[in-house]
């Protein structure tokens, strides 16, 4: 039987977690009250935003190798015509519906990494997402996510309820773990609801009291995090937020999540890592080319990222946004004018500290001889090398080995996404 960290044994009224009774957790629990102090207003606190494109985005139609005749030969119905592509370097170009991102590319705040992915060969969405979030390809038993492990091991950052926030109803795997992290579906609706503020405050205190005294295990830690966050949000008042600089977020879940992330960044509540995800990339059927299904998803992505950068203004200097997706898609289109599960894909890195205006990574080409299993773009950059680079060079993580167990990040292999 595998014992989860979440399994607890009640002993003398204290909840002790298994897996070696995580000392960091115990330390945190013991020091729990310290976290009630207001966050400092450090001016340049580096922030990482991760955006997961769930469903495996077709990297080849996102960052298009329009200089390669093979691309057009393999995709007679879904290739993006060269005349539509927004050229980047003569060989690669942006999908036309990402054109809004071109100014960020030109100002060197946006880079792409191609042929990136997992060393694990799985083509299962669930396994591959799991591996990308746990940070341990091929190992299912890893109990926590790599973003959470970063928070566990970087102790210098001040603990605030909003240090690590995922936007969505569920806490994603990437943030699962002993370090406190919040899942927020909507900032405006966060907290207890009652007709009058006095009634709301009383209800909040009552439930806080209930959980503080009776909850165990995960219910206990999660409820503590909840009530601290409620306190902080009362000061911020998210109902009054207006995006700056004319930023226009697209309607829908993604736009709303990114707007709220921008809001938390600007409110200076101590946010260090944020996570959002967006679905709709599993384009097995009628994927489309310059227009169509994938194009619509990319348009939403491009507009969202553009709005986010505009809204943040100078604050973008402290922020790195990283997109990721569990794998890429087949080089050749399938029988349904779509693409099936492949291997390597492309990721985007956006922000002030980014070494932008370049397609990074080693491009293996589309030649069948260089493909993975003869059909997919080969992985030449292990996703952990990119993630590790961002953690080390942007967030300043000093020891990466506990964050990516079983993997030794080597700066020589970093793709160079962050300016030195």
Tell me the chain's radius of gyration from C-alpha atoms.
22
The answer to whether 343 touches 378, Cβ cutoff 8 Å, is yes
Residue 149 vs 394, nearer CB to another protein: 149
Residue 72 vs 87, nearer CB to another protein: 72
Task: Indicate the SS3 state at residue 95.
Answer: coil
From the list 64-72, 82-90, 208-216, 313-321, the region that binds another protein by CB under 8 A is: 208-216
DSSP state letter for 7: -
The single residue listed with the structure tokens 């956006």 is 350
Find the DSSP H helices in 40-180.
59-62, 69-74, 102-106, 125-134, 146-153
Residue 295: phi and psi, rounded to 5, are -60, -40
Q: Rounded to the nearest whole angstrom, what is the least distance from the CB of residue 55 to another protein in the complex?
A: 8
Report the length, in residues, of the chain: 420
Contacting residue, 192, 234, 357, 370, with another protein by CB under 8 A: 192
The answer to whether 176 touches 145, Cβ cutoff 8 Å, is yes
The site map against another protein for 383-402 (x = CB under 8 A) is --------------------
Contacting residue, 25, 190, 241, 383, with another protein by CB under 8 A: 190
**Span 10-49, contacts to another protein by CB under 8 A:** none
The site map against another protein for 217-236 (x = CB under 8 A) is -xxx-xx-xx--xx------
Closest by CA position to 279, among listed 322, 325, 248, 327? 325
From the list 44-52, 278-286, 354-362, 377-385, the region that binds another protein by CB under 8 A is: 278-286
Residue 15: phi and psi, rounded to 5, are -85, 120
The site map against another protein for 97-136 (x = CB under 8 A) is ------------------------x-xxxxx---------
The site map against another protein for 245-264 (x = CB under 8 A) is ------xx------------
**Span 150-189, contacts to another protein by CB under 8 A:** 169-171, 176, 181-185
Q: Rounded to the nearest whole angstrom, what is the least distance from the CB of residue 104 to another protein in the complex?
A: 26
Query: Counting contacts by CB under 8 A, is residue 322 touching another protein?
Result: no
The single residue listed with the structure tokens 């927004």 is 86
Size of the site for another protein (CB under 8 A): 62
Distance CA 146, CA 133 (A): 6
Distance CA 416, CA 361 (A): 8
Distance CA 157, CA 159 (A): 6
Distance CA 379, CA 40 (A): 41
Q: Rounded to the nearest whole angstrom, what is the least distance from the CB of residue 279 to another protein in the complex?
A: 5
Instruction: List the structure tokens of 102.
Output: 């071109």
Binding residues vs another protein (CB under 8 A): 1-4, 6-7, 54-55, 77, 121, 123-127, 169-171, 176, 181-185, 190-194, 202-203, 206-207, 209-211, 213-216, 218-220, 222-223, 225-226, 229-230, 251-252, 279, 284-286, 334-337, 340-341, 373
């Amino acid at each position: 039987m595998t014992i989860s960290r979440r399994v607890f044994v009640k002993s003398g009224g204290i909840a002790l977690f298994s897996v070696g009774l995580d000392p960091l957790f115990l330390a945190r629990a013991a020091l729990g009250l310290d976290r009630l102090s207001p966050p400092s207003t450090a001016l340049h606190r580096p922030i990482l935003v991760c955006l997961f494109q769930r469903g495996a985005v077709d990297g080849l139609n996102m960052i298009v190798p329009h200089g390669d005749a093979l691309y057009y030969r393999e995709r007679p119905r879904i290739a993006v015509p060269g005349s539509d592509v927004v050229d980047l370097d003569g060989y690669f170009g942006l999908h036309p519906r990402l054109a809004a991102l071109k100014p960020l590319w030109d100002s060197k705040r946006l880079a792409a990494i191609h042929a990136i992915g997992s060393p694990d060969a799985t083509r299962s969405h669930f396994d591959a997402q799991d591996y990308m979030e746990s940070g341990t390809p091929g190992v299912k038993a890893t109990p926590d996510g790599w973003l959470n492990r970063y928070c566990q091991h970087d102790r210098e950052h001040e603990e605030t309820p909003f240090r690590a926030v995922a936007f969505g109803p569920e806490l994603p795997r990437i943030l699962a773990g002993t370090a406190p992290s919040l899942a927020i579906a909507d900032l405006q609706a966060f907290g207890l609801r009652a007709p009058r503020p006095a009634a709301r405050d009383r209800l909040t205190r009552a439930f806080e009291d209930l959980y503080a005294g009776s909850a165990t295990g995960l219910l206990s830690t999660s409820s503590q995090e909840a009530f601290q966050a409620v306190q902080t949000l009362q000061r911020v008042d998210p109902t009054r937020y207006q995006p700056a600089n004319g930023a226009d977020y697209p309607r829908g879940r993604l736009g709303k999540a990114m707007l709220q992330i921008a809001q938390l960044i600007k409110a200076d509540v101590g946010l260090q890592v944020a996570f959002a995800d967006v679905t709709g990339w599993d384009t097995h059927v009628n994927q489309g080319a310059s227009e169509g299904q994938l194009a619509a998803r990319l348009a939403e992505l491009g507009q969202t990222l553009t709005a986010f950068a505009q809204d943040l203004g100078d604050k973008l200097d402290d922020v790195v946004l990283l997109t990721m997706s569990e794998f890429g898609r087949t080089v050749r289109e399938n029988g349904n004018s779509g693409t099936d599960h492949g291997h390597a894909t492309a990721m985007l890195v956006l922000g002030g500290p980014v070494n932008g205006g370049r397609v990074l990574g080693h491009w293996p080409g589309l030649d069948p001889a260089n493909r993975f299993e003869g059909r997919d773009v080969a992985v030449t950059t292990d996703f952990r090398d990119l993630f590790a680079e961002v953690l080390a060079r942007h967030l300043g993580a000093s020891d990466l080995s506990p964050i990516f167990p079983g993997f030794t990040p080597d700066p020589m292999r970093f793709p160079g996404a962050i300016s030195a």
